[in-house]
Amino acid sequence: MDEAQAQKEIDQLREEINRHNRLYYTEAKPIISDLEYDRLMKKLIDLEEQYPQLRTPDSPSQKVGGEPIEGFRTVRHRIPMLSIDNVYEKQGIRHFDERNRKLLGVSNIDYTLEYKIDGVALAAIYEQGKLTLALTRGDGREGDDITHNARTVRGIPLVLQGDYPPVLEVRGEAYIANSDFALLQAEQKQQGEAVFANPRNSTAGALKLLDPRLCAKRKVRFVAHGLGYVENLKAETHFEFIQQLKQFGIPVTPGIRLCHGIDEVLHHAEEMMEQLHELDLEIDGLVVKVNHFSLQEKLGATSKSPRWVIAYKWERYEATTQVRNIHVQVGKTGTLTPVADLEPVQIAGTTVSRSSLHNRDEMQRLGIKIGDWVVVEKAGKIIPHVLRVVMEKRKGTERDFHFPEVCPICQTPVEQDEGGVYIRCPNLECPARLKETIRFFASRSAMDIEGLGSKLVEQLVDSGLVKNLADLYRLSEKKEQLLSMERMGEKSVDNLLRAIEKSKNRPLWRLLTGLNIRHVGTSNARILADRFRSLEELQQQSEQSLAEVEEIGPVIAHSVHHFMNSPYGRNMIQSLEEVGVNPTPPLQESNEQDLPETKPLAGKSFVVTGTLKRFTRLEIQELIHQLGGKASSSVSSRTDYLIAGENAGSKLQKAEKLGIPVLSEEEFQLMLQNQA
């Protein structure tokens, strides 16, 4: 092979490896195995060693590390890398928003919400699309030049793609993934080395190594979350800039949300905290940023931190304990959830003995076995989750857990959601599903059957007294058997039977909620009940007609249509009708027997937003329905009134733009009094 042929092959290998780096680190969609990737890299390295004159600084081969350096030089940041102010309560986020709105003189602000990664702050600087410099935060004014190590960091491309600015400083976080850290600890123990304490310290140490080949072995990764100095930036908002970074081939902070107002920030914050287990890295909070760069500039910064960003942090508590066993629970929709039974351990003042492992994919990521020692984390008030396996404690006696191919309760072959991670028991009559379905059916958000608690449900199903929902309404014929059950005296049984009888005439939306149709909660159940008014009418609808209902859409429509027309759904509805379940249609929910058109809120559509003082959200929505109105979840041109409580957000702003009348709780009650 001559030099020209070698150059051609090297160019092709570099292009292919860069493409796979982008697919793996930026898009999370790898198409080749690690082994195949390593073969491509080895081929490139071999060629560059054979033709050293063809090796370049931006070759992906530099990801494995070059020659050691003698020391670090200090470089001044063009724009200081300031720290971020912290708050530890949600009220602090509201105060942050109130201050910003006051300073800017606006009623609502768009924010972004992202995870705060517990890593090492890093700035990567590109000129004409090539990595030229990488700096640590240092003291915020000056940082250490760690370019030699940054070239080995996964997620920092040596060459950008797409329509990038001529000069671009990307700021983000360097970290070691939990799964990689667990393997690193095991390798250290095997080689008789001191074992690293935590991923963050290991990352910081790796970046300060003089030999980049040693840094490469620690598998440090990078995700971007902001910008420093940049020339000819086209993005006008932070969210837009983050999307552009993906196009340049740079991985970005996971799960970033765009929020229209502080209410959406707090709503999405709850969701993101519940999804912590899905991330293979350590998180110690959330970061809220004003989205528009022009507003960021107006807000400016103090000497210590920018005014346009704040971190909502929580205390992180960890403990190490052993996995006694792993078992699978079956939920009301048939979802099989693996659960780790742990040796009891104290975390943040509570005893933890169990932790959900969520799904099979999560178990595979953790590489968890029965008998493993694991690090369990409890962040703030979030339920504990397994952070990583302590690989160096393995003795070889641990046992693999094989995810069941059949339901552990009814032995029905399980099925995986198409395109999803959840594995379900498809048997609608599975006893485990039945128990969860009855619990939900009797809950306050559904049929509200007082006295039908979890322990009693267990006894009813296990004894065979209840084999379906309709059997609940046949219990009046089996009073003697009820009396023989644990903690069921004469008074308790009578109260239970009265509650069951009373539930026969609950509103239609409650029954629709309790039927446990996938994707149908109380809000969607109300919409369907308002539109079709009876189970019979709902059963007659096509999937198309259901999808055309406002706020329903094709996914919910398919689920409802499938249930209503399946043998299981038809049999359930028929059996409930046979035992006297006769739900009241929406227009008859009020105790008053007046005609629909005479009800005070007839034909009016309401949206409720903000924090209410006199009502819960469910209470005021029920009142609106009882009085002939419609309670919707989103503001549109068809909305007649918006009822706004404290801290109303984007819905209030949209209503004001559309000219929709806005009522306080007091004004809403006054309206009812006047119309009465």
Same domain, 237 and 347: no
Residue 582, pLDDT above cutoff 80: yes
For residue 647, the model assigns a pLDDT of 67
Distances (CA, A) of 242 to 25, 157, 334, 495: 15, 16, 38, 58
Domain assignment present for residue 172? The answer is yes
Cβ–Cβ under 8 Å, residues 105 and 273: no
Residue 555, pLDDT above cutoff 90: no
Domain assignment present for residue 78? The answer is no
Helical segments of 191-236, H only: 199-207, 212-217
Same domain, 412 and 340: yes
**Residue 47 is part of a domain; what is its CATH number?**
1.10.287.610
**Domain boundary, last residue among 467, 484, 505:** 505
Average pLDDT on 448-464 reads 90
Q: Which residues pair with 453 in a beta bridge?
A: none
Same domain, 150 and 281: yes
Could you tell me the pLDDT band of residue 588, with boundaries at 50, 70 and 90? very low
Domain of residue 31, residue span: 3-64
Total tally of structural domains belonging to the chain: 6
Helical segments of 128-275, H only: 147-150, 178-190, 199-207, 212-217, 238-248, 262-274
**Domain boundary, last residue among 458, 475, 505:** 505
Same domain, 244 and 387: no
Cβ–Cβ under 8 Å, residues 524 and 551: yes
For residue 66, the model assigns a pLDDT of 61
Domain assignment present for residue 74? The answer is no
Domain assignment present for residue 70? The answer is no
Q: Which residues pair with 133 in a beta bridge?
A: 125
Same domain, 185 and 280: yes
For residue 587, the model assigns a pLDDT of 53
**Residue 144 is part of a domain; what is its CATH number?**
3.30.470.30
Q: Look at 30-44, 181-195, 500-514 and tell me which has the smallest mean pLDDT.
A: 30-44
Among candidate residues 116, 289, 599, 654, the one labeled active-site is 116
Average pLDDT on 567-588 reads 85
- Chain mean pLDDT for the chain: 87
Domain assignment present for residue 71? The answer is no
Binning the chain into helix, strand and coil, the percentages to the nearest 5 are 40, 20, 35
- In the residue annotation, 381 being an active-site residue is answered as no
Q: Which two tokens stand for residue 76?
A: 């001044």
**Residue 649 is part of a domain; what is its CATH number?**
3.40.50.10190
Domain assignment present for residue 75? The answer is no
CB burial of 314-346 (b: ≥16 within 10 Å; e: otherwise) equals: bebbebebbbeebebebbbbbbbbbebebeeee
Quick: pLDDT tens for 75-101: 999 999 998 998 988 889 999 999 999
Domain assignment present for residue 192? The answer is yes
Quick: pLDDT tens for 308-346: 999 998 877 889 999 999 999 998 888 999 999 999 999
In the block, tokens 């070691």 appear at 176
DSSP for 291-332 reads SBHHHHHHH-B-SSSBTTEEEEE--EEEEEEEEEEEEEEE-T
Average pLDDT on 174-192 reads 88
Same domain, 583 and 623: no
- Give whichever of 165-174, 547-556, 588-597 has the largest mean pLDDT: 165-174
For residue 597, the model assigns a pLDDT of 52
Residue 591, pLDDT above cutoff 60: no
Query: For 240, how many CA atoms within 13 A lie in the half-sphere containing its CB?
Result: 9
pTM of this prediction? 0.63
Quick: pLDDT tens for 373-415: 999 988 766 788 899 999 989 999 999 999 999 999 999 999 9
Instruction: Provide Rg for the chain, Cα atoms.
Output: 30
Same domain, 209 and 125: yes
Average pLDDT on 143-161 reads 92
For residue 675, the model assigns a pLDDT of 66
**Domain boundary, last residue among 444, 476, 505:** 505
Residue 216, pLDDT above cutoff 60: yes
Could you tell me the pLDDT band of residue 594, with boundaries at 50, 70 and 90? very low
Same domain, 339 and 309: no
Same domain, 160 and 268: yes
276 or 401, which is more confident = 401
Q: How far apart are CA 476 and CA 25, in angstroms?
A: 61
**Residue 543 is part of a domain; what is its CATH number?**
1.10.150.20
Same domain, 438 and 417: no
- Closest to 394 in 3D by CA, of 373, 375, 367: 373
Q: How far apart are CA 439 and CA 446, in angstroms?
A: 10
Domain assignment present for residue 81? The answer is no
For residue 57, the model assigns a pLDDT of 79
For residue 590, the model assigns a pLDDT of 43
Same domain, 525 and 610: no
Same domain, 117 and 223: yes
For residue 665, the model assigns a pLDDT of 85
Residue 418, pLDDT above cutoff 80: no
